[in-house]
Structure 1
Amino acid sequence: MTKQETRRPLQLAVIGVGARSEIASHAVASGAGEIVAVADPSTAALERAKEMFGAGIRTFAGHRDLLAGDVPLDAAFVTSPDHTHAEIAIDLLHAGIAVYLEKPLAISLVDADAILAAAAESGSKLYVGHNMRHMAVVRLMREIIKRGDIGEVKAVWCRHFVGNGGDYYFKDWHAERAKSNGLLLQKGAHDIDIIHWLAGGYSTLVTGMGDLTVYGDIDDRRDNSDRTMPDWFSFANWPPLSQTELNPVIDVEDLSMVSMRLDNGVLASYQQCHFTPDYWRNYTVIGTEGRLENFGDTDGGIVRVWNRRTGYDADGDVEYRVRGDAGGHGDADQLTVGEFVDFVRDGAHTETSAVAARNAVATAVAATESLRDGSRPRRVSAVDERVAARL
């Protein structure tokens, strides 16, 4: 592309018009992109796409129909269910189309590595939407660590209270192993990526534990494929055992955890519960000269630092306010899409990393295998160095 050509809106497609497809609207709102086509096997989804992106868009039943339709495209947002990511992304990359792939990268390590290999072989740009790297609370914690305020990181702990878990993950395909692998991967891969980022290393050994402790006891089931998550979401769906119309198949865990040993010696843990009343993440990072912890993970939250010896001190020694993400991770979504646009146009540096996304999947896959095998430790496979170097 010439400099003049980069000023025109990118010609974009959206593949999979579900709850996350609206993220592509950020490219349109900024003037950087134009949605010209969508693909989804659901006719209801295609009608919904016309309402979201304009009646003039071209619609297709699948991504291969789209590719055969000779639609000029610069890039595509892949926001389809996780188990479809590999096939779609690989075909797009080999067709020379830049890909924004919604996280997680894939639901198996084989598929994750195949996607990376396709990006390396084709030379097409691959971007994985790990928007948490743009969350204000995460950026603030990373800045504190990089300044050396708590010394050298030795431990990272994350507790994830998934208060909306019943609505978000147990009424559609997320509840099925065949389509998500498990929520320690589907949901946890995002936090595992941040744990790796804050710690400055990747997991090499993991042990997982978990179970389906609540939602498996609910007999009220329904095929919700005719609806999307906003149609059934309500804070009135409480307490958890009063939930209705859950997915017909539920074989993933609603309570899980993993312990990790990283390649730089850092020890880390991640805990996830899908039936808490509150919904937020709590990180603790401990270094050789102090520790930090966040309270709240959106605008107005607090990150506190303790860096002197004391007894119990709820306030810490230094307090920082979280500025940004007033609408949940909407601000982070906007920044993530903006970074993707710059990456497509001129190869700009990205805070996200396809290799890191793969390593988060590798860790979560190994942890889920451990969880389902009596918590036996699992080694985490390293990425192919030749592929990583080309990316």
Structure 2
Amino acid sequence: HPGVDVVFVCTPDHLHAEHAIAALDAGKHVFLEKPMATTIADCDRIASAADRSRGKLYVGHNMRFFPVVRKMHELIAQGMIGRVEAIWCRHFISYGGDAYFKDWHSERKYTNSLLLQKGAHDIDVIHYLGDGYTKRVVGMGKLSVYNEVTDRRKPEEPGASQFDPGNWPPLSQKNLSPVIDVEDHSMILMQLANGVQASYLQCHYTPDDCRNYTIIGTGGRIENYGDMSLPESWATVHLWNRRMGYQEHGNEVFRIPDTTGGHGGADPQMIQDFLNFLQDEPSNGATIQDARMAVATGCLGALSLREGSIPKEVPPAPVLTNELQTIPACLIK
């Protein structure tokens, strides 16, 4: 339609490729919700469509705009911890049973693995803070809790998230999906091409909700406590870069200012960045290659854990030649 300028693709993950490619082939600008797709092949098909399109493709990795992530990237860029060598991320998802195991997310044929739906966020942040892409990944994980819950909705009943703090402990959950074949906890080890090594854990049956990053360099380490600063919550980044014994809070603490807007203020910043990108301004967000490599790492991490933790080599992202898609990023480096 000639009156359509931009298409937002926010459909279930397995439909991303079909919808994004159709919009790009029609010459429309596309905002594509993460994960880019559920397979490496579909990511590469989307990238190819973007490379031949008159429209621009932007993949919505909003954690690039989390103030706590930006602060950690800033400290790394300032040399406060030396050269980054190791990264550890743990993601506790208290609402996992309320959300991801009551609708289409619970089935591999729709989501592949929650290392994509949830993990793509953290894998991309690890790549961002580590300044490199994963070249080898090995995974462990299993479906350990929600497969034991017998209270399931009927197949003909629509699935829907049901957030309720009373849904505890996890084995007392009700109305779970009739089919659950994705893991409810996953762990992957990542070897980045630049030598940085990283580990990532996500768990969907914890009592608390927390996303924690620890980055260790040749001259110190940083760690976040909390990931969003809102009027009702908080976030800080802690720095250890002096020789010391046990110090819970490090030798310097950076308080993240309160923000407004979804996901700790990241969502409005991301949308503004998308609008700037459409006007040929450099982007602060994830590139097409960034989004593809997050999915590739998650896909192969899931494959590894399902094949007995066999290490998997991650293929590099395709090279794009369309200047519309390769505007230089203005990341803090």
TM-score range, shorter chain: over 0.9
The equivalent residue for 1:385 is 319
Task: Say if 1:145 and 1:171 are closer, same or farther in 2 by CA, change over 3 A.
Answer: same
After superposition, where does 1:185-334 map in structure 2 within 5 Å? 185-222=116-153, 223=155, 226=158, 228-229=160-161, 232-299=162-229, 300-325=234-259, 329-334=263-268
Task: Judging by fraction of residues, say which structure has more helix.
Answer: 1
8 Å Cα contact 2:188/2:200 also seen in 1: yes
After superposition, where does 1:36-75 map in structure 2 within 5 Å? 70=1, 72-75=3-6
- Determine the C-alpha separation between the residues in 2 that align with 1:116 and 1:225: 36
8 Å Cα contact 1:117/1:387 also seen in 2: no
* Aligned-residue offset at 1:315: 1.9
- Determine the C-alpha separation between the residues in 1 that align with 2:73 and 2:2: 41
The equivalent residue for 1:22 is none
Higher RCO (Cα < 8 Å, 6 or more apart): 2
Aligned pair partner of 2:41 in 104, 110, 115:
110
Task: Say if 1:224 and 1:148 are closer, same or farther in 2 by CA, change over 3 A.
Answer: farther
- Determine the C-alpha separation between the residues in 2 that align with 1:366 and 1:387: 26
* Aligned-residue offset at 1:388: 8.5
The equivalent residue for 1:171 is 102
After superposition, where does 1:85-104 map in structure 2 within 5 Å? 85-104=16-35
Give the TM-score taking structure 1 as reference length: 0.79
- Determine the C-alpha separation between the residues in 2 that align with 1:134 and 1:381: 27
- Determine the C-alpha separation between the residues in 2 that align with 1:306 and 1:330: 25
- Determine the C-alpha separation between the residues in 1 that align with 2:28 and 2:306: 38
8 Å Cα contact 2:226/2:235 also seen in 1: yes
- Determine the C-alpha separation between the residues in 2 that align with 1:168 and 1:118: 32
The equivalent residue for 2:111 is 180
- Determine the C-alpha separation between the residues in 2 that align with 1:378 and 1:350: 30
Query: Residue 249 of structure 1 aligns to which amino acid in structure 2?
Result: V
Query: Residue 86 of structure 2 aligns to which amino acid in structure 1?
Result: A
8 Å Cα contact 1:159/1:282 also seen in 2: yes
Secondary structure class of the residue paired with 1:385: coil
* Aligned-residue offset at 1:350: 3.3
Secondary structure class of the residue paired with 1:159: strand
Query: Residue 67 of structure 2 aligns to which amino acid in structure 1?
Result: A
Query: Residue 182 of structure 1 aligns to which amino acid in structure 2?
Result: S
After superposition, where does 1:340-351 map in structure 2 within 5 Å? 340-351=274-285
- Determine the C-alpha separation between the residues in 1 that align with 2:211 and 2:260: 15
Aligned pair partner of 2:271 in 337, 349, 352:
337
Task: Work out whether 1:121 is the aligned partner of 2:52.
Answer: yes
Query: Residue 291 of structure 1 aligns to which amino acid in structure 2?
Result: R
- Determine the C-alpha separation between the residues in 2 that align with 1:162 and 1:80: 22
Percent of aligned positions that are identical:
52
* Aligned-residue offset at 1:234: 1.3
- Determine the C-alpha separation between the residues in 1 that align with 2:238 and 2:264: 24
* Aligned-residue offset at 1:259: 0.1
Give the TM-score taking structure 2 as reference length: 0.92
Task: Say if 1:317 and 1:278 are closer, same or farther in 2 by CA, change over 3 A.
Answer: same
Per-residue deviation, residues 74-97 of structure 1 (Å, max 9, x unmatched): 101111000000000000001011
Task: Work out whether 1:81 is the aligned partner of 2:15.
Answer: no
- Determine the C-alpha separation between the residues in 2 that align with 1:381 and 1:387: 19
- Determine the C-alpha separation between the residues in 1 that align with 2:322 and 2:208: 38
Aligned pair partner of 2:286 in 349, 352, 366:
352
8 Å Cα contact 1:224/1:247 also seen in 2: no
8 Å Cα contact 2:124/2:294 also seen in 1: yes
Give the gaps of 5 or more residues in structure 2. Answer: 327-333
- Determine the C-alpha separation between the residues in 1 that align with 2:193 and 2:269: 30
* Aligned-residue offset at 1:327: 5.8
8 Å Cα contact 2:66/2:266 also seen in 1: yes
CA RMSD of aligned residues (A): 1.6
The equivalent residue for 1:7 is none
8 Å Cα contact 1:185/1:368 also seen in 2: no
Query: Residue 195 of structure 1 aligns to which amino acid in structure 2?
Result: I
* Aligned-residue offset at 1:328: 5.7
Aligned pair partner of 2:91 in 142, 156, 160:
160
The equivalent residue for 1:142 is 73
Secondary structure class of the residue paired with 1:198: helix
Task: Say if 1:189 and 1:119 are closer, same or farther in 2 by CA, change over 3 A.
Answer: same
- Determine the C-alpha separation between the residues in 1 that align with 2:52 and 2:184: 38
Give the gaps of 5 or more residues in structure 1. Answer: 1-69
* Aligned-residue offset at 1:351: 2.5
* Aligned-residue offset at 1:330: 5.0
- Determine the C-alpha separation between the residues in 2 that align with 1:119 and 1:253: 32
* Aligned-residue offset at 1:347: 4.4
How many positions carry a matched residue from both structures? 320
Decide which structure has the larger Cα Rg and report it. Answer: 1
- Determine the C-alpha separation between the residues in 2 that align with 1:330 and 1:148: 26
